A and B are shown apart, each in its own frame.
Chain A
Amino acid sequence: MGRFLLSRLLSAIPTVVIVTLMVFVLMRAIPGDPAALMLGDLAEPEQVAAMRAKMGHDQPLPMQYLLWIGDVLRGDFGHSIVNQEPILPLILTRFSVSATIVFAAVILAALVAVPAGMIAAWRQNRASDVAIVTAATLSLSIPSFWLGLMLLLVFGLWLNWLPIVGFVPVTREFWAGTVYLIMPVATLVLVESGSIARMARASTIEVARLDYITHARAKGLSERQVMWRHAFRNAFAPTWTLIGLILGSLLANIAVIETVFTIPGLGRLLIDSIYARDYPVVQGCLLFIALIYVAVNLLVDCVYPLLDPRVTA
């Protein structure tokens, strides 16, 4: 077990290194000189050269990369070109907003979709199964931004139940904040439940065919006991991995939902910075989201042996 965790941790290192390299290369591939961009059109060439030196951009590329990594390791993501704010605190504030939405959505989606998928599998080809599979396929096919707009239209404009613009962080005012979270979270739950339910259903069907399920029945266990004691853990293992993947990709796609509901989250920060050509912030966001994704998957993998002890072998 300890060995498994260690090897899993170490195997993430090359991934992290290459992720940072890719972010670095991507940002250096942007046409134009970041230093000139920072100083604006009126800057003198000497000023630009001084700024380049200050940013370390007069160094050879590998050196620039190492300098950047050094800063990142110290927690210094640099400063925004637009308003000179330090980037990491900015990202963290925005991240807390996005993370609240994403975590709430994924937890709720899992709570709805995993039992739904397993029930569908257990009642394969019966009416309840068909209903769940149909709902899951529908959920898979509706884009989150459209569903969000439709909810906005119906519950915000027509029924006037929920606010359509504005945002209050839950950390400041819990209930007021929660009201603003209802629609974005509901949208994500509706959209992401589909794939989770389908995965839970497929892996339960797979497991239900195996001999140890028949063996459990042959011991005299009731269907409920067979399902929860023997089928659940084994069938849940692949779904668990999928939930981790969804959690990560939601963080990347959250910009879409934040745009629909005008929420000042990390995704909006990334998009606004791309518009504003604020490349240090873009770079910071890309790196931060990718690293969070790697970390989430690492965490998911580390819990996996509890579901399936075979992986540690």
Chain B
Amino acid sequence: MIGVLALQGDYSKHIEILQMLNFKTMEIRYPKELSLIEGLVIPGGESTTISDLMARSNFHSPIKTFAKKKPILGTCAGLIMMSKNLSDDRIKSLDILDISVDRNAYGRQIDSFIDQIEVSLNGKQNNVLAPFIRAPKINKVGKNVKILSYYKNEPVVVKQGHHLGLAFHPELVNTTLFHKYIFSEQFEISHAT
């Protein structure tokens, strides 16, 4: 079973993607529910809100413990939450990916866009549609972080250990590729559990 952090954001879109892949899914609103799942998605949304709600429910330390053994996929605000360094003290991030991130780095909503990116997974090149919505930029990556895709010279897909972070929203365009990659191909989570 894969959980989606359901404090705020487009968690229902991630649930739809996971169901397309025949995973059992669960909305996660309490830290104790983490013990029931094999993988976690931190969705897009407003990172200040998600960070605040996580702090109020004491989610930080249980998610960090979860991350030691199990995979986490973060998109946009989820990537921001997984980062180590932020240029913004409104957010308390999880330090799961050794990256530095700037929030809303492309500008306001009027600067949001959708474009094709190329990403290499398991040695295979894929062309995918990537919606960037008030998206963050990854401005520094640590040596253990692999960059799997760039958009205009900026890293937009990063992997460290069994965790994957995306600066954009595959869930908005029904792209199952990344969920499948991290939960089935890399981690072999069974669809039946």
A associates with B: no
Which residues does A use to contact B, with CB under 8 Å?
Answer: none
